[in-house]
Chains A and B, each alone.
Chain A
């Protein structure tokens, strides 16, 4: 059973398009995240949701809008895609009440904007 699954794994699209990435976790975690990994492999947090409530919102352009219909799902919608949005996007989950933030990651979505 896949713990954190995200779709699609690969996404190639033209500049200006709108696209969505979906994420689901079956670990019973209450917190979900979106991370962006750039071409140099640097991983940076974008958003965090706890029980459908936004709790972390880093300085991310407004074109990025996360949506959490329930605590097991966190989707990422991106409007007006730009070349600089090309990266690998990772969904992750954890238990907020735990002493440590131990994150479980999905396989990633490689987004290429052409």
Chain B
């Protein structure tokens, strides 16, 4: 059973287009993170959202945490070829002060010039 469902799994768009990636779960997370992974590299943390309803912006990227802290979205405005990569959402399941990241399946984004 996949705890975090990420969609779409693949996305190929033209430079300048907008896109949204979704990360959904039936479970509540103490926080949710978005990572970006390039070929041959490890995932790199983009943002952490903590409060239900929270919105964070990172240049052309907008991240939102659902009110119930079960889902999140990543919106990219005017995508550029440099945005190409694998985007991963990860929910933090905490037990005491021990955290465990549960990852979604990832969204492979290709932005064509």
Question: How far does the alpha carbon of A37 sit from the alpha carbon of B50 in the complex, in Å?
Answer: 26
Q: Which of B15-66 contact A (CB under 8 A)?
A: 30-31, 33, 37, 40-45, 48, 50
Q: Which of B54-108 contact A (CB under 8 A)?
A: 86, 88, 90, 92, 94, 97-103, 105-106, 108
Judge whether A45 is part of the interface by a CB distance below 8 angstroms.
yes
The dominant DSSP class at the B interface is: strand
Chain A residue at smallest Cβ distance from B99: A101
**A-B residue pair count with CB separations less than 8 angstroms:** 67
Q: Mark A76-114, 1 if CB is under 8 A from B, else 0.
A: 000000000000001010101101111111111000000
Question: How far does the alpha carbon of A90 sit from the alpha carbon of B90 in the complex, in Å?
Answer: 15
Contacts A102-B33, A105-B43: A41 and B94 contacting too (C-beta < 8 A)?
A: no
Point out the residues of chain B lying under 8 angstroms from A90, CB to CB: 42-43
Specify which of B48, B86, B99 is in contact with A96 (CB 8 Å cutoff): B99
Chain B contact residues, CB within 8 Å of chain A: 30-31, 33, 37, 40-45, 48, 50, 86, 88, 90, 92, 94, 97-103, 105-106, 108
* Extra inter-chain contacts (12) besides given A42-B106, A43-B106, A101-B31, CB under 8 Å: A4-B42, A40-B105, A41-B86, A45-B101, A96-B97, A99-B31, A100-B33, A101-B99, A103-B43, A103-B45, A103-B90, A107-B42
